[in-house]
Amino acid sequence: MRASIVWAMTALRRRAEPALPAEAELPDASPPALAPLDDRLGFWLRLAQQTAFEAFHRAMSPLGLTPGRLGALLLVEAQPGMRQSALAEALRVKPSNLAVLLDGLEAEGLIRRSEDAQNRRAKLLHLTPAGRALLRRAKVREALVEAELAAGLDQTGREMLLAALRRIAGG
């Protein structure tokens, strides 16, 4: 009896759904015109960010890296012994969110935290040998992603784009 109820409900649902037009009657499948969005900075920034994230993910996910994790490792490499609070400020993330990210990096043996002798509540960050090794591999992949994103831009265009993005980001 249960099967017959399911069959009847399925049949009713099919009758209630509008029939699809014949293939010749299907609307054009081309993407809609972007005229209302074509001059919107936010729209193009979002599309560019999606493109950048997809390229980054393809290259870095095999290494277990996200943009935040890579950014943290790069900054710690550039400034060994930097305070955790300074890293949060540089990455523009809440200290509590950064603490979670750093907990993961520390658990994986990529960074180590030490106490700041001048302020025992502050933590200083250092890369471990494993962190340096991962970063060497990541930099090779990152260079390929950067080249992919900059394809079609000459050096001047790339520099102008970076300058514009920095201004928009307030940096």
In a domain, 27, yes or no: no
In a domain, 31, yes or no: no
The pTM score is 0.77
Higher pLDDT, residue 27 or 53? 53
Instruction: Give the residue numbers spanning the domain of 78.
Output: 64-169
Q: What's the pLDDT score for residue 27?
A: 61
User: 91-113: per-residue pLDDT in tens?
Assistant: 999 999 999 999 999 999 999 99
In a domain, 87, yes or no: yes
Tell me the C-alpha distance between 20 and 43, whole Å.
32
Q: Is pLDDT of 162 > 80?
A: yes
In a domain, 116, yes or no: yes
Q: What's the pLDDT score for residue 117?
A: 83
Domain count, the chain: 1
In a domain, 94, yes or no: yes
Mean pLDDT score, 150-164: 95
CATH number reported for the structural domain that contains residue 110 in this entry:
1.10.10.10
Contact predicate 113/102, CB 8 Å: yes
User: 70-92: per-residue pLDDT in tens?
Assistant: 999 999 999 999 999 999 999 99
Among the listed residues 78, 135, 81, 150, the one whose alpha carbon sits nearest the alpha carbon of residue 105: 135
In a domain, 42, yes or no: no
In a domain, 1, yes or no: no
